[in-house]
């Protein structure tokens, strides 16, 4: 199978590229310099020339706070460009995979969010990701939207690697937000699911994350318990932290739909974190 992957240098994109290569796919992964997905004319020519059977979009402007000061760029990359990709992949009859976010939801729900729950984003980032979803559905006959959350994994810094690096550099006290909950997602687990979904021509909207609803405060405690360290971890509110963009209080995603569709058993995030920390143990200094 011939696949084209956009955003291959990102945290998730690196994992997806490795997963597809190991499965024997012919994968084209143009860099941003080689292919800017916001350039519709160039994108159209490129995809028409290679005629992939599947296009996977892991690209995005994912700096949540920065999106607040650069809304035009956020909507262009996370919204309009997704529409371009959907339209062009549809014209060449390719399956279009797009990665979306838990931040399309308001966080007002007590239970886990289902795929059919009404989106109500709180931030420019969330709004731009929702626009991308809408345009993908509007222009692509064959699409699969995978919403995920709290991504961590090798190749790029993330919440877990950042706090461990701070500890390694001598910090012994961490103030971590405790009043926002979600589900961590291991990039390698999600990459495997993307491969399975591609192989089974999965279409529609699905949620994927590892199991276990948790706050970032609780997550930090778990990370240091796993590595056997005991820094002082202080719970603070999101208001005290003072992030520019508003985050949902509860963005936990229900994964039953994709578990049923792909006959999956998704592991708990603690097991995934152990694997991740073992993988990067020699890299963090």
- Residues catalogued as catalytic: 125
Parallel, antiparallel, or unpaired: how do β-strands 181-182 and 214-215 relate?
antiparallel
In angstroms, the CA 113 to CA 268 distance is: 18
The answer to whether the CB of 224 falls within 8 A of the CB of 233 is: yes
Which SS3 state, helix, strand or coil, does residue 144 take?
strand
Task: Check if the beta carbon of residue 10 is closer than 8 Å to that of residue 56.
Answer: no
Largest CA distance in the chain: 56
Other C-beta atoms closer than 10 Å to the C-beta of 142 total 15
Paired residues of 148 in beta bridges? 101
256-261 own/partner pairs: CB under 8 Å, 24+ apart:
257/114, 257/115, 257/206, 257/207, 258/146, 258/193, 258/197, 258/206, 258/207, 258/208, 261/200, 261/202, 261/206
Under 8 Å between Cβ of 9 and 187: no
* Alpha helices (H) along 24-123: 40-50, 64-69, 71-75, 81-91
Task: Identify any residues that bridge with 55 across adjacent strands, giving them in sequence order.
Answer: 4, 96
Identify whether the C-beta of residue 167 lies closer than 8 Å to the C-beta of residue 59: no
């Amino acid at each position: 199978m011939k696949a084209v992957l956009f955003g291959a240098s990102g945290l998730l994109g690196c994992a997806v590229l490795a997963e597809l290569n190991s499965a024997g796919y012919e994968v084209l992964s143009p860099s941003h310099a080689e292919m800017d997905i916001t350039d519709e004319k160039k994108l159209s020519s490129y995809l028409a020339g290679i005629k992939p059977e599947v296009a996977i979009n892991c690209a995005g402007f994912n700096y949540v706070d920065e999106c607040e000061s650069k809304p035009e760029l956020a909507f262009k990359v996370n919204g309009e460009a997704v529409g371009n990709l959907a339209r062009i992949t549809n014209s060449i009859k390719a399956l279009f995979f797009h990665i979306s976010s838990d931040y399309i939801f308001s966080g007002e729900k007590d239970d886990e969010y289902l795929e059919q729950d009404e989106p109500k984003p709180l931030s420019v980032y969330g709004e731009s990701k929702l626009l991308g979803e809408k345009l993908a559905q509007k222009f692509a006959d064959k699409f699969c939207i995978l919403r995920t959350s709290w991504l961590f994994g090798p190749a790029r810094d993330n919440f877990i690697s950042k706090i461990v690096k701070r500890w390694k550099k001598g910090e012994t006290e961490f103030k971590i937000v405790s009043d926002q909950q979600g589900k961590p997602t291991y990039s390698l687990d999600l990459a495997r699911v993307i491969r399975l979904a591609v192989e089974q021509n999965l279409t529609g909207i699905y949620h994927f994350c590892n199991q276990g609803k948790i706050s970032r405060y609780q997550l930090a405690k778990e990370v240091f318990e796993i590595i056997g360290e005991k820094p002082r971890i202080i719970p603070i509110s999101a208001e005290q932290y003072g992030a520019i963009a508003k985050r949902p209080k509860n963005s936990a995603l229900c994964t039953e739909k994709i578990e049923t569709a792909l006959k999956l058993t998704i592991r708990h995030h603690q097991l995934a974190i152990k694997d991740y920390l073992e993988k990067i143990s020699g890299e963090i200094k």
